[in-house]
Structure 1
Amino acid sequence: MTVSTPGLSGLRRAGALAAATLAAVALGVVPGARADAASGTLPIGDADLTEITTSRVLADGVTLTHIVRGTEPAQPDQINTTSRGPWVVNVLTIDPRRARGHLKATYGTNLGQVEKTTDLVRDSGALAGVNASFFTFTASPLYPGDPVGLGLYGGKLLSEPTIEPGEVNFVVDANNNRALTGKLTWSGSARNRRTHTVLPLEFINHPPVVPAGCTAVVDQSVCTEPGDVVQFTPEFDSATPAGVGVEVVLNRLGCVVRTATTRGTTLAVGQTSLQATGRDAGALLAVAGRGCLDLTSTLTDQRGRKLGLRPGLFGVNGRYPLTANGRIVVPDGGSDSFFARNPRTIAGTTRDGKVVLATIDGRQTTSVGTTLDETAAVAQALGMSDAVNLDGGGSTAMAAQGALVNHPSGAERAVGDALVYVEGRYHGGN
């Protein structure tokens, strides 16, 4: 155990080696102003706060660290303003040079539903893990687990990154535990092999929206308002979303096996479907016909280079980078409550290639949480040269060795996916 008070050196962070890189891609990062070097304690709150650190080894190359900064509970009405804390931080550190397992993302039974982080960790046979992506939650009652952004699992792109400027992605190769952060973009299309006509895709595994002026139109092909064109895979849910519009089911060769003038069907292994609403319904029928389609799906990094989808590649979505090349890069959030004190989940890498997953408890008198600026300062102090802010708030959770490690702000919430560390080499699967 390390007890750190003013005048005593606390956590020591090293990092002289070059950052590890994925063999097939280098995700871009956002430049910014370098913050002051970490003093050895977490650089949040008053300088005279006592900080207590305990660590334990979970497995070769895997360490769990518990940090408490501040000793007195906060007053309930001062959680968002106090400079006395307390703050409770849990840190999972994975050293790829020594670890004998692999880091990956998992969404559980299917993509559209939610499960608790503790269940995702246990059901995947993992040693430890944290919640990961932002997901639709209450915005989509039928499919609450649908990722709001990138969802890449075992080399399968099951959810496309958004064009929102705040989205940032965390990508890891389970074959070597190398990880990077950055922003990916996506494009997709369906092309008829015989006629060569092309129809752009707008989403992957995301329920299409029916245009407001056509909600009462049963035959969407006569609608004059643009709708959505979406690709669905069997991983999404037990059935594709039902409703007005059209749906075309393709076999593993890309050839049409059935067409319906309403949406909603069950897909067999190897099948995929395309759904369309609004006037795009007619466009889909025209492109598909009774022929065969080539579906394209391309991920591109910030430098315009394609990311090859290969087995073992996983990626989740976050909101806003925290650090990049050792610099704090949090944008100005103004009065947006997202930037205020909340529970937080962080993923990042150190300069010598370690992967760090951390949670910060919040909205409690026993741990007040962090602003996004404070979160970045914590990430930097923990040695994360590149770090992203994952889903937080009520979703923040860390589990290890079958038990919940942190204290969520309420009952543990079911989430869309998780980043988990599994002992043993990666052998496929989500």
Structure 2
Amino acid sequence: MRARGAGRGHALFALLATALLAFAPPAVAEPAPPTPTPEGSPDRVLGEVGPEQPVAVGVVHQGFTTTAAAGQVMGDVVVADLTSPGIRADLLTPGTIAARSSVAEMADRTGAVAGINGDFFDIGRTNAPAGPAVAGGRPLKAAVPDGRRMGPAVPGAEIEHVFAVGVDRVGRIDRLRLAGTATSPRGTFPIMALNQYAVPVGGIGVFTPDWGVADRATTLCGSDVDRDAPCAADQAEVLIHEGVVVLAGPPVGGQIPQGDVVLTGRDKGAAMVRSLEIGDRVQIDYALVAASGVQPQFAIGGSPILIDRVPVAGLDDRERAPRSAVGTSPDGHYMFLLTLDGRQTDSVGATLAELATVLRAMGVDDAINLDGGGSSTQVFRAHGASEVTIVNDPSGSSPRLVPNGIGIYAG
């Protein structure tokens, strides 16, 4: 059981503001995070809070309890000021897309001062995440077909939804749509997938070295709506080196050489790929197009549950579980990483509706639901420490290995 201090919920962000200001250099005056302004008394949502824990200039952690659910729930939140010099958010990965690692290992490997688990994923198969992903301004993957998304259904959510921080250093909910073509002497073919665990029926997918070693034939199994449907009867793949087809055959696994690209097709897409011959020159162009018009510096998939401080209508209010979420302040300058523990003797977990209520009580404006259950993990590195510490209470016997997460970096 984790101890909490005796402060009340309405003081939570006053404490966070104090910590952010106190940890800043004397010459820097940082704005305070938004204060909670929910309908009614915040004490009805946020309970006791623990001591503020400064992580870096502009980054602070706070533990709390909430009474939003049917019993006590223990929570943790890291707030990062994206306007603070040197503070940035980026994608945590194990090194490739179709792979898994613990949040702590990913954070330590990249030097993050705080982190949280990320998107729902193709657990037990390729282990690749479901939604789009951008790291360091570079598109890593696009969204699988909507019928192949993982995780709980959220009204109005699209598989293209992401939480993003743009090149403008503003956090937002956005949508990233894949646009791409492969142009060859045999014609111009549409690209319908980028490093995805499910290539759409009849489509062509692009795989880069970022994918990893997972068997690409697996991505041609199932249908656009059924994970367990049979694999495509017609499959084809070509390897492109320096813009030229150098190998053709059935889809395989193994690491794609740096600088090379693979085109993998199923059904009608397989016929298009098979029309390419060794020696053909192929130009591949693709991009993740942001609905906001702002190029993302970082993005991760998830389902919106809070928009303009209003919980999405119809959110599930029955199933309680450990939860993870990421959100922003109204101006997009503050980023919130939040976990709620569940399946514990001292923490019953929360429904999606309760999660949205807690986020709103904290002054969060927009938020998306991340993978929960055994995946929910939050870490931070105390000032001066050499590695991060897990600060929430993961529900499994050990932290679950996951394919990505969100990292906060300082300096």
Interval containing the TM-score (normalised by the shorter chain): 0.7 to 0.9
- The verdict on how the C-alpha distance between 1:261 and 1:64 changes in structure 2, with shifts beyond 3 A counting, is closer
Alignment of 1:273-352 (within 5 A): 273-287=262-276, 290-302=279-291, 305=293, 308=295, 313-319=297-303, 321-333=304-316, 340-352=319-331
Q: 1:258 aligns with which of 247, 251, 276?
A: 247
Instruction: Assess, with a 3 A threshold, how the Cα gap between structure 1 residues 302 and 82 changes in structure 2: closer, same or farther.
Output: closer
| Alignment partner of 1:115 is 2:94 | no
1:172 is aligned to 2:151: no
Query: Do residues 57 (structure 1) and 54 (structure 2) align?
Result: yes
Cα deviations by residue, 1:282-322 (Å, 9 ceiling, x for unpaired): 2212256632222232433446x5x547xxx1111112x12
- CA displacement at 1:101 relative to structure 2: 2.9
8 Å Cα contact 2:79/2:337 also seen in 1: yes
Question: What does 1:345-424 align with in structure 2 at a 5 Å threshold?
Answer: 345-352=324-331, 353-401=333-381, 402-410=388-396, 411-424=398-411
Letter aligned with residue 328 of structure 1: P
What TM-score comes out, normalization by structure 2 length?
0.77
Unaligned runs of 5+ in 2: 16-36, 147-155, 219-233, 382-387
Aligned residue pairs, count: 353
Per-residue deviation at 1:105?
0.6
Alpha-carbon displacement from aligned partner over 1:211-254 (angstroms, at most 9, x marks no partner):
xxxxxxxxxxxxxxx644221100111365258832211124x3
- In the TM superposition, residue 261 of structure 1 has moved relative to its aligned partner by 4.2
2:142 is the alignment partner of 1:160: yes
Matching of residue 105 in structure 1 with residue 91 in structure 2: yes
1:236 counterpart = 2:211: yes
Partners of 1:40 and 1:119 lie apart in 2 by 36
In the alignment, structure 1 segments of 5+ residues that lack a partner are 15-34, 45-49, 71-80, 211-225, 425-430
Contact kept? 1:347, 1:387, Cα under 8 Å: yes
**Structure 2 residue 130 is matched with structure 1 residue 130:** no
Q: CA deviation at 1:370?
A: 0.9
Alpha-carbon contact 1:54-1:67 (below 8 Å) kept: no
Q: 1:391 is matched by which residue type in structure 2?
A: D
Matched residues in 1 for 2:163 and 2:175: separation?
8
Q: Secondary structure at the match of 2:130?
A: coil
Which of these residues, 127, 131, 134, is aligned with residue 149 of structure 1?
131
Tell me which amino acid in the other structure corresponds to 2:12.
Answer: L
SS class of match (2:89): strand
Counterparts in 2 of 1:298 and 1:368: CA distance versus 1, 3 Å: same
- Cα distance change, pair 41–186 in 1 and its aligned pair in 2 (3 A): farther
| Pairwise CA distance, 1:2 | 6.2
Distance in 1 separating the partners of 2:177 and 2:133: 12
Q: Note the C-alpha offset of 1:59.
A: 1.0
For 1:188-207, list aligned pairs within 5 A: 188-192=180-184, 194-195=185-186, 197-207=187-197
Distance 2:177 2:400 in 1: 29
1:67 is matched with: 64
Match of 2:45 among 39, 43, 63: 43
2:229 corresponds in structure 1 to none
How far did 1:36 drift?
5.0
Contact 1:151–1:315, Cα closer than 8 Å, also in 2: yes
1:315 maps to amino acid:
A
Matched with 1:186 is 178
Q: What is the rounded CA distance, in whole Å, between the counterparts of 1:332 and 1:238 in structure 2?
A: 37
- Cα deviations by residue, 1:5-43 (Å, 9 ceiling, x for unpaired): 6xx9533579xxxxxxxxxxxxxxxxxxxx953633362
Distance 1:278 1:124 in 2: 40
- Equivalent residue for 2:23? none
Q: CA deviation at 1:207?
A: 4.6
Where 1:130 maps in the other structure, the secondary structure is: strand
Give the Cα–Cα distance (whole angstroms) in 1 for the partners of residues 120 and 337 of structure 2.
16
Q: 1:191 to 1:354 in 2, by over 3 A?
A: same
Contact 1:2 1:10 in 2 (8 A): no
Q: Kindly indicate whether the alpha-carbon contact (under 8 Å) linking 2:131 and 2:142 is maintained by their aligned counterparts in 1.
A: yes
Please give the alpha-carbon distance, in whole angstroms, between the structure 2 residues aligned to 1:344 and 1:262: 37
